[in-house]
Amino acid sequence: MRYYHSWSGGKDSTAAVILDHIHNLPSSTIVFSEVMFDKTRNISGELPEHIDFIKNKAIPIFIKWGYDVKIAQADKDYITEFHTIIRKSNIPHRNGQKRAFPLGGKCSINRDIKTKAIQDFFKTIDGDYIQYVGIAADEPKRLERLNGTNKVSLLAKYGYTEQMAYELCQEYDLLSPIYSFTKRNGCWFCPNQSYAEMAHLKKYYPYLWRELEKLSQENNLVTQGFKYNATFAEVNAKVDKIIKEKEV
């Protein structure tokens, strides 16, 4: 039997790797799915401080511990999805237009890029395997979905709650810096992130914010919605207000 960690770099999946290491479980491989914003220009969709943590801190430690680490990437990236022309919509006027920004709560990027890269990786594996997933002991509904699958939660196995996972990562100095300003781990262009998270992006990585601004100015977009029904311009105004208030 082979074992694989589906690792995002977030506290729960990182804590799972740490528990694997602590309990000296059978050899396993760590798989990280990196969402790319623009593969041509090598712009990651992960927040800069997070991808730096992934590649320059966590992975070297995991390799030192004896793990094999794989970075999976889908063929598509955010830019590809944004510019994809709609062909088969049930709403006729949408056909021929660009998909534009992903919809909040229905993010095609997660489905077609992040999850797809993991699925494609596992399709290359012959034979049975166990997939370790980062679900904490205090997430009963998510754990229930694992029944009848080949997915296993080491956090549940060893009784680790989300808070305990956080503390374990702190103890091993393997807590992503994103937790200094957010409780979630997501792409920097995600429509589901809070306005405070967007303000962080614009303040510290204005060059990335400009990428989104440029896209919002393109023609033939199926929607101008950037964050649910709000346009990029409307979101930008709220973000500027948050940044200004924090600077006072």
Domain at 134, CATH number: 3.40.50.620
pTM of the model: 0.92
Instruction: Name the H helices within the chain.
Output: 11-22, 48-53, 59-64, 78-83, 108-109, 115-123, 140-144, 154-157, 162-171, 195-204, 206-216, 232-247
Confidence tier at 161 by pLDDT (50, 70, 90): very high
Per-residue pLDDT at 160 exceeds 90: yes
Quick one: pLDDT at residue 247?
81
Distance between CA 172 and CA 166 in Å, rounded? 10
Which tops the pLDDT comparison, 248 or 104? 104
* Residue 228 domain flag: no
Inside any domain, residue 246: no
Domain assignment present for residue 123? The answer is yes
Residue 115 domain boundaries = 2-184
- Domains identified in the chain, total number: 1
What pLDDT, in 10s, does the model give residues 52-96?
A: 999 999 999 999 999 999 999 999 999 999 999 999 888 888 899
pLDDT on residue 183: 87
74 belongs to a structural domain: yes
pLDDT at position 105 is 73
- 13 in a structural domain: yes
φ, ψ (nearest 5 deg) of residue 71: -105, 115
Instruction: Give residue 149's pLDDT.
Output: 96
In a domain, 243, yes or no: no
How far apart are the C-alpha atoms of 130 and 151, rounded to whole Å? 6
Mean pLDDT of 9-21: 98
State how far the Cα of 147 lies from the Cα of 14, in Å rounded to an integer.
22
Q: Answer yes or no: is 242 within a domain.
A: no
pLDDT tens-digit series, residues 177-202: 999 999 888 899 999 999 999 999 99
pLDDT band at residue 15 under the 50/70/90 scheme: very high
Looking at residue 243, its pLDDT comes to: 96
Average pLDDT across the chain, whole number: 95
The answer to whether residue 168 sits within a structural domain is yes
- Closest by Cα among 157, 166, 164 to 130: 157
Cβ neighbors of 84 (< 8 A, separation 6 or more) are 98, 99
Question: For residue 103, what are the β-bridge partners?
Answer: 106
Confidence of residue 248 (pLDDT cuts 50, 70, 90): low
